[in-house]
Structure 1
Amino acid sequence: MAQAFFITGTDTDAGKTSVAAGLLCAAKQQGCSTLAMKPVASGCEMTEQGLRNSDALALIAQSTVQLPYSQINPYAFAPAIAPHIAAQEAGVELSVADLYRTAQVILQQQADFTVIEGAGGWRVPISNTEFLSDFAIALQLPVILVVGVKLGCINHALLSAQAILNDGLELAGWVANVVDPNCARLAENLATLQQLMPAPCLAEVPHLTHANAEHVAEYVKLIPQSML
């Protein structure tokens, strides 16, 4: 049975891509076909093939279904700034309708395990009137929230989870990703999240010096088989 999820984070640098790539890798190791999409990416580098985003490339590396880069990351912008500002500077108009249309190409591939990764946190603007969360609402996919574990993450996680649920979407679960190796009272913070979050903790990923997909997969592969 094909499974697809929308991956979001508590904020920028929460580790969405590391976790998404790890999930794809774990699914691939279990014999699943995999595919991913990063619809909007800022902070891209110019190459001979055009603008390329390191997060999108990391997802492509763990995808067994091969599609052109332009379908995986249809909106790529050079400046590492908010997507709606980057789009405005590039003279590009982002809309939920266009993002939804491009996502259908990905979902129609019917890979066993598909992830669509957002940008930044949940309520990131894509224009003056629409948000990336509106795109997630249009897709109606269950959401996996990556919690970047650091000082302040409890507030960020609870507000993000509340927003996702208030938007009428299923919060399939959350992943604790330790982004601060010196996070004070780490065990206590994780215990508080376990107690207060309105969805199950799918995995705890410690701070990794080399957070490549294979390393992260070691921790996320414990996710229920029904989700992979």
Structure 2
Amino acid sequence: MTRAFFVAGTDTDVGKTTIAAGLLHAARHAGLSTAAVKPVASGCELTREGLRNSDALALSAECSPALDYATVNPFAFAPAIAPHIAAREAGVELNVERLVQAIRPVLAGQADFILVEGAGGWRVPLNARESLSVVPQALGLPVILVVGVRLGCINHAVLSAEAIARDGLALAGWVANIVDPATSRLEENLATLAELLPAPCLGRVPRLDQPTAQQVALHLSLASLQLPVGRHSGS
């Protein structure tokens, strides 16, 4: 039974973390234990505890039992730029092997539902030879695709789904995150996505002014992911 998934986006700023946190919250509410990893994050703030990324903190808040920050986000960089550039400027070697080694202990844990969140879109580079998409390939993780619904999203979604399939991974599901509610012909776009993407839609999340994981979870369904049965109820 699959219990770990890689969360990818059709682009940057499409709400991957918002949706991932909502999925984790929904799993917790269903009585499942949860864990999450955002292996590499740029755009971190320097705190007394070290560099901290708001997306990684949002995921960490939905991990039950709790995980320490370095486990959730092993590679953190201050500039809000492409990870491979941020790593190079920081003098850090970023590659698939190091990320896989950081993720494996979480996958080997006892959590019922595990999410590994990517950065940007599917082909974000880690270095001159490798892209982040090789990480879920190395780990054999099925993919949950977050589609930022706005003008151009159909092309981005279909190309991402094609790349995922070409890389030999299963698309377990997709989520319509409506980042632009003024999108022309919104319903028609959503219907086209449902026709063209070869996986079930896990939910349609409306534009929320201040989205919380609890609010987002109300618009999501985990049913098609065939997760373990929860051992207790409540969050």
Q: Does TM, normalized by the shorter one, top 0.5?
A: yes
Q: Does 1:33 align with 2:28?
A: no
Structure 2 counterpart SS, 1:220: coil
User: Is 1:144–1:171's contact at 8 Å kept on the other side of the alignment?
Assistant: yes
Aligned residue pairs: how many? 228
Correspondences of 1:70-89 after superposition (within 5 Å): 70-89=70-89
Q: Which residue of 1 is the match for residue 233 of structure 2?
A: none
* Amino acid in structure 2 at the alignment position of 1:66: A
Q: Which residue of 1 is the match for residue 165 of structure 2?
A: 165
Q: Which residue of 2 is the match for residue 179 of structure 1?
A: 179
Q: Tell me the distance in 1 between the aligned counterparts of 2:2 and 2:134.
A: 23
* Amino acid in structure 2 at the alignment position of 1:118: G
Cα RMSD for the two superposed structures: 1.2
Q: Tell me the distance in 2 between the aligned counterparts of 1:149 and 1:132.
A: 23
Structure 1 counterpart SS, 2:161: helix
Structure 2 counterpart SS, 1:219: coil
Gaps of 5+ in 2: 229-235
* Amino acid in structure 1 at the alignment position of 2:209: T
User: Is 2:23–2:222's contact at 8 Å kept on the other side of the alignment?
Assistant: no
Structure 2 counterpart SS, 1:17: helix
TM-superposition CA deviations, 1:17-74 (whole Å, max 9, x none): 0110000000000110001000000000000000000000000001002222111100
Structure 2 counterpart SS, 1:80: coil
Q: Which residue of 2 is the match for residue 197 of structure 1?
A: 197
Q: Which residue of 1 is the match for residue 232 of structure 2?
A: none
Gaps of 5+ in 1: none
* Amino acid in structure 2 at the alignment position of 1:168: G
TM-superposition CA deviations, 1:115-169 (whole Å, max 9, x none): 0000000000000110000111101111000000000000000000000000000
* Amino acid in structure 1 at the alignment position of 2:207: H
User: Is 1:2–1:112's contact at 8 Å kept on the other side of the alignment?
Assistant: no
Correspondences of 1:39-78 after superposition (within 5 Å): 39-78=39-78
User: Is 1:45–1:53's contact at 8 Å kept on the other side of the alignment?
Assistant: yes
State TM-score, norm by structure 1. Answer: 0.97
Q: Tell me the distance in 2 between the aligned counterparts of 1:173 and 1:70.
A: 28
Aligned-residue offset at 1:173: 1.1
Q: Tell me the distance in 2 between the aligned counterparts of 1:224 and 1:214.
A: 20
Q: Tell me the distance in 2 between the aligned counterparts of 1:86 and 1:226.
A: 37
Aligned-residue offset at 1:221: 3.3
Q: Tell me the distance in 2 between the aligned counterparts of 1:5 and 1:60.
A: 16
Q: Which residue of 2 is the match for residue 207 of structure 1?
A: 207
Q: Tell me the distance in 2 between the aligned counterparts of 1:193 and 1:2.
A: 25
State TM-score, norm by structure 2. Answer: 0.94
Q: Does 1:150 align with 2:150?
A: yes
Q: Higher mean Cα deviation, 138-147 or 197-206?
A: 197-206
Aligned-residue offset at 1:106: 0.8
User: Is 1:146–1:176's contact at 8 Å kept on the other side of the alignment?
Assistant: yes
* Amino acid in structure 2 at the alignment position of 1:152: G
* Amino acid in structure 2 at the alignment position of 1:102: A
Aligned-residue offset at 1:225: 6.3
Q: Tell me the distance in 2 between the aligned counterparts of 1:223 and 1:54.
A: 28
Q: Post-superposition, which runs of at least 4 consecutive aligned residues in structure 1 deviate over 4 A? A: none
Q: Does 1:23 align with 2:23?
A: yes
